[in-house]
Amino acid sequence: MSFRDAFFAAYDSARKGHLQALLDKVDFDALRSIATRLHDNVPCSIPALLNAGEQAKPDAESKQILDQTGGQNCNIDICFADGVVWIARLRFEEPTVLPHDAQTPISISEVETLKFLSRTNIRVPEVFHHSCNETEIGTPYVLMEKLPGKPLQWSNASAQQKTKVMEQLADVFLELEKHPFPVTGSLSQGGVVGPFAQNHMFVSPFESLGPFSTSKDSLTSILTHEIDMIKDGELSTLATDNFLTHLWRLEHLPGLLANATDNHFYLKHADDKGDHILIDEDYNITGIIDWEWASTETKNFAFSFPCMMWPVVKYYDGSNELSQEELEFAQMFQRRGREDMAQMILQRRAWQRFLFFMAGAGVPSYDEFRDLFQGLRRSFEGEDIGSYLEWRKRACETNEASLMEFGRTRTGGSHSTSQVPDVHGSQERNKE
């Protein structure tokens, strides 16, 4: 077995272990009782329990369970005698997920986001009940409507099918544009915009960044927060390079914000890779799901291309060439008489790249990091930017004092620039 195969086998085993631990905590009798009471006392059943035997607990190996389990949540069907189907959404508790105190505002934000969207023309699941404590069924949970349809597999769709989805998605964008917010952050208790409900925005289990009234304040705070985490060793992968590229971002922030719109912020889905869209057999959108981590963002970022449309290989290689789907999507706004939206979308690669691989994103390799940052530089400075190593050398010279302080912070000692840890190693750099 290769190292890669062994890693994913161990990862899969660990995930199933965490999933089983979550399922074992749930009082499914209490869950059924609550669901029945909320649905006019109509009896209900949980299909995942049908083969559970005497334990009356679902098996984490069950295909029915695994098919509706993602990276953060397990979704379990609740079927009522009248044909209605709900979902019980259970959130994982494991070392790679935030502690309970930080998970609570994330869960509340998703619920409030769904409540807000239910008042628009965008189809989302209706929320019937949610609890952030463990007293009701043994774990926090959300009861929501199960929408018809299946998750969109963008890469498997034909050109004609993609066009049909994009036409509908353009209408979703225009609907979201009708509902601006005064600040940037995430929806919180009561439907007001509060701090960001995103993992990397937490400064402690009880406090997250935001809300902010301007994009400048928001991005400056985020960058400063991540620089502090790099200095403290919380983000240790490619630490020196991440530190330097974050200083570059701070320097180029005015250019990014030159045409940004403040005072009006718009809801943006945080994970728009395609499977957040539910479709029927004819590729009609039946709903949009997984609004966890959604935030209100400046118009320039909120309506940039969904990542499912990106030319992924070229994007990771540092190219800013737009895909055929991206160009077609922009044309759809032009046909709707929205040249402003079309041009804004076409020119937003810089926003995508600026926020795509911040230190918290965990880019695994030096080569990938280098190519992504070079793509970011090209989106600001054009194609003739020179090599990454040339830039890095200049950045070290320009930021010598900051690097010396960075080295002292990370090691507790006194270091020159040349002694700052070079985490990717000379062998990898020589690949350029």
Q: What is the pLDDT of residues 3-34, one digit of tens each?
A: 767 777 787 787 788 788 888 899 999 999 99
Just give the CATH number of 3-148.
Answer: 3.30.200.20
Using the predicted structure, report yes or no on whether residue 230 has a pLDDT greater than 60: yes
The pLDDT value given to residue 234: 85
| pLDDT, average across residues 189-193 | 97
Q: What per-residue confidence (pLDDT) applies to 288?
A: 99
Instruction: Answer with the residue of higher pLDDT: 53 or 311.
Output: 311
Q: What is the pLDDT of residue 416?
A: 41
pLDDT at 423 over 90: no
Q: What is the pLDDT confidence band of residue 362, given thresholds at 50, 70 and 90?
A: low
Give dist(CA 159, CA 325) in Å, integer: 9
285, β-bridge pairs? 279
User: What is the band of 61 on the pLDDT scale with cuts at 50, 70, 90?
Assistant: confident
Residue in 340, 87, 297 with CA at minimum distance from that of residue 193: 297
More confident: 48 or 221 = 221
Task: Indicate the domain borders of the chain.
Answer: 3-148, 154-426
DSSP string, 206-275: TEE---BSSHHHHHHHHHHHHHHHHHHTSS-TTHHHHHHHHHHHHHHHHHHGGGPPPS-EEEE-S--SST
Helices 215-232, 400-411: crossing angle, 10 deg rounding? 50
pLDDT above 90: percentage of residues in the chain: 71
154-426: CATH number: 3.90.1200
- pLDDT at residue number 339: 95
The yes-or-no verdict on residue 419 having pLDDT over 70 is: no
Residue-wise pLDDT tens digits, 233-287: 888 788 999 999 999 999 999 999 998 878 899 999 999 999 999 999 999 999 9
pLDDT at 432: 54
Tokens at 133, concatenated: 């404590």
Average pLDDT estimate for 169-187: 98
> pLDDT digit string (tens) for 104-136?
999 999 999 999 999 999 999 999 999 998 999
Given this model, what pLDDT does residue 146 score?
A: 98
For the whole model, what pTM was predicted? Answer: 0.91
Task: For residues 402 and 408, give the distance between their C-alpha atoms in angstroms, rounded to a whole number.
Answer: 10
The residue among 34, 35, 18, 118 whose CA lies nearest residue 69 is: 18
Beta carbons of 311 and 322 less than 8 angstroms apart: yes
| Mean pLDDT lowest among 51-60, 233-242, 352-361 | 51-60
Q: In Å, how far are 74, 137, 291, 296 from 70, measured between CA atoms?
A: 6, 21, 13, 24
Q: How confident is the model at residue 364 (pLDDT cuts 50, 70, 90)?
A: low
**Bridge-partner residues for 78, per DSSP?**
86
pLDDT value at position 426? 44
The mean per-residue pLDDT over the stretch 178-185 comes to 98
